[in-house]
Amino acid sequence: MLLYLLQVSLCWGLFALLYALLLRRETFFAANRVYLLTTAAAGLLLPVSGHWLPLPQTDAGQLFSTLPTAAAGFREMEESMAAWWWNDVVEWVYGIGATLALSRLLWGLGRLASLIARNRRELQADRTVMVYTDQARLPFSFFHWIFVSHNLEDQPDFREMLAHEKAHFQGWHSIDVMLLEILCVLFWFHPLAHWYRLSLRNVHEYQADAAATHASNRRQYSMILVRQIQERMPAALAHHFLQAPIRQRINMLTQKSSTPIQAWKYTLALPIVALFLVAFRQTPETGVYDNVYNKCERLPEFPGGMAALLQFMQTNLSYPEEDRKTGRSGMVGVTFVIGTSGKVEQIHTATLKGEPSAAMHLEAARIVKQMPRWLPAEHRGEKVKCQFVLPVRFALQ
């Protein structure tokens, strides 16, 4: 999962950098909207197109999925278990954060639903629904619902503000909003997910401003933005008349439209996508045995998880008595294969550090041989054999 997050961050980071440097100030608002949506999705999908960043290779040129070091004679096993306990803490923190983010989203939807249910509604000829509520000091919209104050129609700027909100409906901007809100629930901790949400919101406002100025002078419309800058925003999920920073919106209104030739900048995203496709396209590596994987889509799992594996090793691993008397120490690497039935197969030992005795090699192999059946590995929907290496350290306190 950590590798996937690193890959997503790399994709999003390069796409965001390209947008910030070359595309953000262009007036191709529809193209910018498509760019943000597609690159947000591409950042999630490109990493699953293959595997990259391989594990370090051994002298034999193989890739190993290395388990935490098991130990006999001192506290390293307990320290390994403590490290895996922190993994559980991280999962809990993520779950709490995602729950809070989802609660915020549901609260916003509930608030909008309450406004729609409790106030007078009026269907318009263009299929929008006007919802009259005292909580709408400025118009705001969500899908085809446009929320306005009872006395807002008497204001001189109402026509332009209403045109702005109707442009949000006609562009189906609320679909984008919901997609990015869901993204920010799943990646609540990731700043680039929130950057995508904010950037797309800004593009929505630029599009709505451009549509609203078809019926009014751009300078006059800019003055409306300035006059309304002190008003309050009533709903988090809805589109507001004053959503994006006013200076940016005025700059977009007053700057010269981008020329068609400047659209070439969008093609720069294609080499980035191609680069990631090549980088992520790496088939799982096989070891010294036929049809045995060292890296696959889902690795084998010890019954009860990694904490249970470490507990099994701590309970059953013994220090050879003769080596204990002489104070001998060393580290043995046990290479083994988890078969398609989950059974431990093809056990081999090798010296990793120091001068472990033959008894240490035998003890390390014995403990692996006694392991219960694992949940087998899977790749492309099929159960496959997978190779592991387990370091076993013998050292006295």
**CATH number of 309's domain:** 3.30.2420.10
Determine, yes or no, domain membership for 85. no
Determine, yes or no, domain membership for 24. yes
Q: pTM score, two decimals?
A: 0.68
Q: Using the 3D structure, point to which of 279, 295, 312 is the last residue of a domain.
A: 279
Q: Using the 3D structure, point to which of 279, 304, 325 is the last residue of a domain.
A: 279
Same-domain pairing of 155 and 268: yes
Determine, yes or no, domain membership for 88. no
What range does the domain containing 126 cover?
2-52+95-279
Least confident residue range of 38-47, 92-101, 213-222, 338-347? 213-222
Same-domain pairing of 251 and 152: yes
Domain count, the chain: 2
Same-domain pairing of 236 and 371: no
Determine, yes or no, domain membership for 62. no
Same-domain pairing of 244 and 258: yes
Q: Which residue has the tokens 């990694």?
A: 306
Same-domain pairing of 253 and 115: yes
Same-domain pairing of 274 and 326: no
Residue 384 has pLDDT above 80, yes or no: yes
Model confidence at 98, pLDDT cuts 50, 70, 90, reads very high
Same-domain pairing of 148 and 199: yes
Same-domain pairing of 273 and 335: no
Same-domain pairing of 74 and 106: no
Least confident residue range of 58-67, 354-363, 376-385? 58-67
Same-domain pairing of 214 and 320: no
Determine, yes or no, domain membership for 61. no
**N residues, the chain:** 397
Same-domain pairing of 16 and 74: no
Determine, yes or no, domain membership for 221. yes
Same-domain pairing of 267 and 345: no
- Given this model, what pLDDT does residue 305 score? 87
Q: Using the 3D structure, point to which of 224, 249, 279 is the last residue of a domain.
A: 279
Which residue would you say has higher pLDDT here, 246 or 177?
177
Determine, yes or no, domain membership for 59. no
- Residues 7-62 pLDDT 10s: 999 999 999 999 999 999 999 999 999 999 999 999 999 988 754 444 343 333 33
- Given this model, what pLDDT does residue 223 score? 77
- Residues 155-164 pLDDT 10s: 778 888 899 9
Determine, yes or no, domain membership for 89. no
